[in-house]
Amino acid sequence: MKNKTNAALWSFYFGGVGAGKFYLGQTGLGWVYLLFCWTLIPFFINTFELIVLLSMSIANPR
């Protein structure tokens, strides 16, 4: 299980190049972010996804 705090930190600092996606195991999207990082489009998408990630509640594992 991935830690929400770590995912948010990776996404905040290196999200424009897909580091948050690689951390979460979404390697395909990570490569797409890395490929298009020079256009700044992944940066804007990552900003939206970071807000969604931070607004999610932590699931209660059983």
- Quick: pLDDT tens for 41-56: 999 999 999 999 888 8
The answer, yes or no, to whether residue 60 has pLDDT greater than 60, is: no
The answer, yes or no, to whether residue 59 has pLDDT greater than 70, is: no
Q: Of 44, 46, 13, 12, give the one whose Cα is nearest residue 29.
A: 46
Q: Of 56, 42, 62, give the one whose Cα is nearest residue 7.
A: 56
Question: How high is the pLDDT of residue 5?
Answer: 87
